[in-house]
């Protein structure tokens, strides 16, 4: 039988597809990216990259680029119509990933950096200006038919096709991924501006990042990243009852709305457009050789800044699982865990975004007054906590619920060994599992998990062991009551152990869980960090 042309074909070339192509290209996979447009969309949409995805992009070779295109997040303050503070979220505080909680980016600049990194991968082919007009599959492979700008059609084949093709996804339609509407919808005018030369944010006298919860016009004010010496800001204005989209998108009206904040001699318009904020979640993310990711799988309101971040998490989850499948270490049952793990996580984030949206989108003065009193009197319902993994490949010592601590994002720390500093993620960012131990001999665990890409970090004072420079990794283990833990390739904790006996049980459970999802353990490729 003829081998397929590629390991993976990706439909669409937005930031999620760019990141996935980079991840797979760094593995040496043969990847084709098919995108109907020849040029990237030049205007910003997303503005947030949280600590987890900043960390993921750093681990995938963007360490020299990200600090140049990202701004650390400030305090995120909510105010009522009288500028009394309702709520503060500290985006500037240290995160488990080591940096601040949130970074702001100029999406076109970030996408350019991702595109350049993708083009440096010799195994990735970009088919730009080629529209995908059909997607099919059979037991042997999957195929896409593309049409170029001259009307010529041809078919490409791959082991898997991944639809990163947006909210109107063709691939989702093919797999019959009906969308669940989570019940939120609102129109907002999104306005991006660039500060004129010599103008600083401080001179504008505006909140660094804020929600102005004025029922007369709920308004969002946030950073929109940097590009070189250019500074961008974003305003979002809720469309009020009786307003038409055409009226709201008129440039004169845009300047009227910006007038309380900035003037044309301080900023220049980059774009202004009304967007319909929705909350949609695909019911099916995979059909055999076809999968979806990003906006093709989920659309959420922007109030948490988690739309693009969630898509990047999809890519990261898929990348390490595809690595095992494409290497022949696992059959494709492993890919069933993709939706199992990602859909609940995205659903919780969507609900959190809706919660914030319902607090903000209050055009009625009486309802806004009730909301304000609830915040001032501390009777407002607390927002849902930021989600972690709750299902899928997680340690269940009792056979049912995941272990306390399993599914959390593991800390990213700086390790020191023999006078040399090593970032932890540089040890496990290549798609392997990571075993962190404090005093245990890992030899038996390595043998039990032979065939699984596995690295070991031994923490301790002895020669050859590593020291956690700022103590955050040790503190994480202490909080969970563990002396060792197993971390998945996507930096999530599989589970932990308090002693040698518990560690052996943990390793046996991981071997069993991997076998259930089709991972084959054979000749050892495990290694201890030198």
- Dump the DSSP string for 195-243: EPTT--HHHHT--SSEEEE-TTS-EEEEEEEEETTEEEEEEEEEPPTT-
> Percent of the chain having pLDDT more than 70?
97
| Mean pLDDT for the chain overall | 92
Residue 491 confidence (pLDDT): 95
The domain boundary, picked from 277, 294, 324, lies at: 277
Which residue shows structure tokens 């995938």?
Answer: 60
Task: Let me know whether 63 and 205 are in one domain.
Answer: no
Distance CA 485, CA 127 (A): 42
Average of pLDDT values for 502-527?
Answer: 81
| Residue 201, domain member (yes or no) | yes
322-341, pLDDT tens digit by residue? 999 999 989 999 999 999 99
| pLDDT at position 22 over 90 | yes
| Residue 401, domain member (yes or no) | no
Helix then strand count (H, E) for the chain reads 15, 27
Task: Let me know whether 31 and 172 are in one domain.
Answer: yes
Task: Let me know whether 166 and 261 are in one domain.
Answer: no
Task: Let me know whether 24 and 140 are in one domain.
Answer: yes
276-309, pLDDT tens digit by residue? 999 999 999 999 999 999 999 999 998 888 999 9
Question: CATH code at 134?
Answer: 3.50.50.60
The CA–CA distances, whole Å, from 277 to 75, 238, 350, 460 equal: 24, 10, 12, 50
| pLDDT at position 138 over 90 | yes
225-261, pLDDT tens digit by residue? 998 889 999 999 999 999 999 999 999 999 999 999 9
Answer whether 190's CB lies under 8 Å from 364's CB: no
Answer whether 44's CB lies under 8 Å from 106's CB: yes
Residue 428 confidence (pLDDT): 58
In the DSSP assignment, the letter for residue 447 is H
Task: Let me know whether 29 and 121 are in one domain.
Answer: yes
Residue 163 confidence (pLDDT): 98
| Residue 509, domain member (yes or no) | yes
Task: Let me know whether 143 and 203 are in one domain.
Answer: no
Give long-range contacts, CB 8 A cutoff, 24+ apart: 469-478: 469/413, 469/414, 469/415, 469/416, 469/421, 470/413, 470/414, 472/96, 472/98, 472/411, 472/413, 473/411, 473/413, 473/415, 473/424, 473/436, 474/438, 476/96, 476/410, 476/411, 477/436, 477/438
Confidence of residue 364 (pLDDT cuts 50, 70, 90): very high
Radius of gyration of the chain (CA): 24
102-125, pLDDT tens digit by residue? 999 999 999 999 999 999 999 999
Residue 431 confidence (pLDDT): 65
The domain boundary, picked from 248, 277, 306, lies at: 277
Residue 42 confidence (pLDDT): 81
417-470, pLDDT tens digit by residue? 888 888 888 775 456 899 999 988 888 888 888 888 899 999 988 767 889 998
| Residue 80, domain member (yes or no) | no
Residue 13 confidence (pLDDT): 97
Task: Let me know whether 288 and 265 are in one domain.
Answer: no
Question: CATH code at 449?
Answer: 3.40.30.120
Distance CA 47, CA 225 (A): 7
Question: CATH code at 272?
Answer: 3.30.9.10
165-176, pLDDT tens digit by residue? 999 999 999 999
Total domain count, the chain: 3
Average of pLDDT values for 383-403?
Answer: 90
| Residue 296, domain member (yes or no) | yes
| Residue 203, domain member (yes or no) | yes
User: How many degrees, rounded to 5, is the angle at CA 141 between CA 140 and CA 147?
Assistant: 145
pTM comes to 0.94
| Residue 313, domain member (yes or no) | yes
Task: Let me know whether 41 and 149 are in one domain.
Answer: yes
Task: Let me know whether 443 and 314 are in one domain.
Answer: no
Distance CA 269, CA 255 (A): 9
Task: Let me know whether 285 and 203 are in one domain.
Answer: no
Q: Does residue 443 sit in helix, strand or coil?
A: helix
Q: Which domain holds residue 368?
A: 6-69+106-180+279-376
Average of pLDDT values for 198-212?
Answer: 90
| Residue 514, domain member (yes or no) | yes
Task: Let me know whether 25 and 41 are in one domain.
Answer: yes
Does 78 or 462 have the greater pLDDT score?
78
Task: Let me know whether 161 and 195 are in one domain.
Answer: no
- Nearest Cα neighbor of 349 from 297, 396, 400 is 297
Does 9 or 419 have the greater pLDDT score?
9
Residue 1 confidence (pLDDT): 60
The domain boundary, picked from 349, 376, 403, lies at: 376
């Amino acid at each position: 039988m003829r081998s397929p042309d590629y390991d993976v074909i990706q439909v669409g070339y937005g930031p999620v597809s760019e990141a996935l192509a980079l991840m797979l290209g760094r593995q040496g996979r043969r990847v084709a990216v098919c995108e109907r447009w020849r040029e990237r969309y030049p205007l910003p949409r997303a503005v947030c990259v949280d600590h987890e995805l900043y960390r993921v992009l750093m681990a995938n070779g963007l360490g020299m680029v990200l600090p140049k295109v990202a701004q650390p997040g400030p305090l995120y303050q909510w105010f009522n119509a009288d500028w009394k503070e309702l709520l503060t979220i500290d985006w500037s505080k240290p995160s488990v990933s080591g940096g601040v909680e949130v970074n702001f980016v100029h999406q076109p600049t970030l996408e350019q950096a991702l595109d350049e990194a993708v083009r440096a991968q010799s195994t990735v082919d970009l088919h730009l200006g080629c529209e995908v007009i059909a997607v099919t599959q059979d037991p042997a492979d999957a195929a896409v038919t593309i049409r170029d700008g001259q009307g010529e059609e041809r078919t490409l084949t791959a082991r898997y096709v991944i639809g990163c093709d947006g909210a109107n996804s063709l691939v989702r339609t093919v797999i019959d991924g009906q969308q669940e509407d989570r019940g939120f919808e609102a129109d907002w005018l999104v306005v991006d501006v660039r500060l004129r030369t010599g103008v600083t944010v401080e001179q504008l006298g505006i909140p660094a990042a804020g929600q102005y919860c004025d029922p007369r016009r709920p308004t969002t004010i946030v950073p929109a990243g940097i590009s070189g010496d250019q500074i961008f800001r974003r305003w979002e204005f809720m469309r009020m009852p009786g307003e038409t989209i055409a009226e709201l998108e008129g440039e004169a009206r845009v300047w009227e709305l910006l007038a309380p904040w900035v003037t044309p001699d301080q900023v220049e318009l980059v774009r202004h457009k009304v967007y319909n904020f929705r909350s949609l979640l695909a019911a099916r993310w995979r059909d055999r050789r076809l999968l979806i990711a990003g906006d093709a799988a989920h659309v959420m309101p922007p109030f948490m800044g988690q739309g693009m971040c969630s898509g990047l998490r999809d890519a990261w989850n898929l990348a390490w699982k595809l690595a095992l499948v494409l290497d022949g270490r696992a059959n494709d049952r492993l890919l069933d865990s993709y939706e199992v793990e990602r859909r609940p996580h995205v659903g919780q984030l969507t609900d959190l975004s809706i919660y914030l949206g319902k607090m903000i989108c209050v055009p009625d003065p009486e309802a806004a007054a009730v909301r304000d009193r609830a915040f001032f009197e501390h009777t407002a319902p607390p927002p849902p906590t930021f989600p972690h993994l709750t299902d899928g490949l997680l340690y269940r010592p009792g056979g049912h619920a995941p272990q306390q601590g399993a599914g959390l994002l593991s800390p990213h720390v700086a390790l020191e060994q023999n006078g040399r500093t090593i970032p932890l993620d540089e040890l496990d960012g290549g798609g392997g599992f990571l075993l962190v131990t404090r005093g245990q001999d890992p030899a038996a665990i390595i043998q039990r998990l032979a065939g699984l890409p596995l690295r070991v970090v031994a923490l301790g004072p002895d020669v050859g062991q590593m020291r956690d420079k700022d103590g955050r990794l040790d503190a994480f283990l202490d909080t969970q009551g563990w002396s060792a833990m197993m971390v998945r390739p996507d930096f999530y904790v599989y589970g932990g152990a308090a002693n040698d006996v518990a560690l052996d049980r943990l390793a046996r459970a991981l071997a069993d869980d991997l076998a259930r999802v089709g991972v084959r353990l054979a000749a050892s490729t495990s290694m201890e960090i030198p």
